[in-house]
Amino acid sequence: MNGRLVLVGAPLGNTGDASPRLADALAHADVIAAEDTRRLLRLAKDLGVELKAKIISYFEGNEELRTPDLTAAMVAGQTVALVTDGGMPSVSDPGYRLVRAAIDAGIPVTVAPGPSAVTTALAVSGLPCDRFCFEGFLPRKMAERRAVVGKLATEERTLVFFESTHRISGALRDLAGAFGADRQAAVCRELTKTYEEVRRGTLGELATWAEQNGPRGEITLVVSGFVGSTGRPSDEELLAMVAERVASGTSKRDAAAEVASLHGLSRREVYNLVVSAG
């Protein structure tokens, strides 16, 4: 008889958020695949759970390699519990490959639901959350990141991103350039932990704050959706948007193309405006 896969939602930081089902899943699993085995052991100790399972590390760097062995264990009748550092497995964390492999092998997949940084940040952001989309981590390279945020500029749903300490300042600056500095957002840092902080404001304000303060820890960024345009920006506004991108290292041609795409204008129209202005 096949075993099963249990996706375990782990606390983001405060162990008081751990559910009884989480403790039960860890206590009765045959195998626990953990993103960080040390954090798993600390969590089990804090919860008073005695682990009898075989514990293996399962993270981004080895999940492709270890998925076949875990699948084989489930086919042989074992229960595998998958737990990440915090939040739900598969949501910008290891898990998708194993879930897909289990489904393809006809193995039951179930969930012990738990905290999620996505919905937690949405709830405290103060921004509309009746409709939202999760974009995960933005690209590391500036050119790729700007291309992505440029395409998202007219997304009407509230947007949620994960971002690293080292890239949050650049991400906020690029978002302000693409979405407009006045777009409302919230930087949610270290959610449920001792130094939890939610900083709300415009993208421009938050970009300046991040540059000056260098926020640290795990960061979830929530940005309000596009609410429509009042019409074509003035020539001066278009030139200012192009100039901001050029100042950040983008060529005039590419900057004009980004601004044109953002406002539904032709690239030639905006680029000719830039050339005429000198």
Kindly state whether residues 141 and 219 are assigned to the same domain: yes
Residue type at 180 in one-letter notation: G
Kindly state whether residues 137 and 202 are assigned to the same domain: yes
Q: Is the pLDDT of residue 138 over 90?
A: yes
In the chain the beta strands, taken as DSSP E runs, fall at 4-8, 31-34, 54-57, 79-83, 109-112, 132-137, 158-163, 184-189, 197-202, 219-223
Dump pLDDT digits (tens) for 57-82.
Answer: 999 999 999 999 999 999 999 999 99
Residue 8 pLDDT grade (very low, low, confident, very high; cuts 50, 70, 90): very high
For residue 1, what pLDDT is reported? 63
**Does any domain span residue 35?**
yes
Kindly state whether residues 125 and 104 are assigned to the same domain: no
**Does any domain span residue 173?**
yes
**Does any domain span residue 54?**
yes
Kindly state whether residues 181 and 98 are assigned to the same domain: no
CA 172 centroid distance within chain: 14
Kindly state whether residues 150 and 58 are assigned to the same domain: no
Kindly state whether residues 195 and 143 are assigned to the same domain: yes
- Number of domains present in the structure of the chain: 3
pTM greater than 0.95 (yes/no): no
Last residue within a domain, chosen from 187, 203, 223: 223
Let me know the angle formed at the C-alpha of 16 by 14 and 18, rounded to the nearest 5 degrees: 95
**Does any domain span residue 230?**
no
Domain housing 204: 118-223
Indicate which CATH number applies to the domain containing 145: 3.30.950.10
**Does any domain span residue 228?**
no
Kindly state whether residues 131 and 201 are assigned to the same domain: yes
Kindly state whether residues 35 and 128 are assigned to the same domain: no
Last residue within a domain, chosen from 81, 115, 149: 115
**Does any domain span residue 110?**
yes
Kindly state whether residues 134 and 111 are assigned to the same domain: no
What are the backbone angles phi and psi of residue 140, rounded to the nearest 5°? -70, -40
Dump pLDDT digits (tens) for 33-63.
Answer: 999 999 999 999 999 999 999 999 999 999 9
- Tell me how far CA of residue 234 lies from CA of 29, 75, 79, 237, in angstroms: 63, 64, 62, 5
Share of the chain above pLDDT 70, in %: 98
Let me know the angle formed at the C-alpha of 116 by 14 and 53, rounded to the nearest 5 degrees: 70
Kindly state whether residues 125 and 164 are assigned to the same domain: yes
**Does any domain span residue 229?**
no
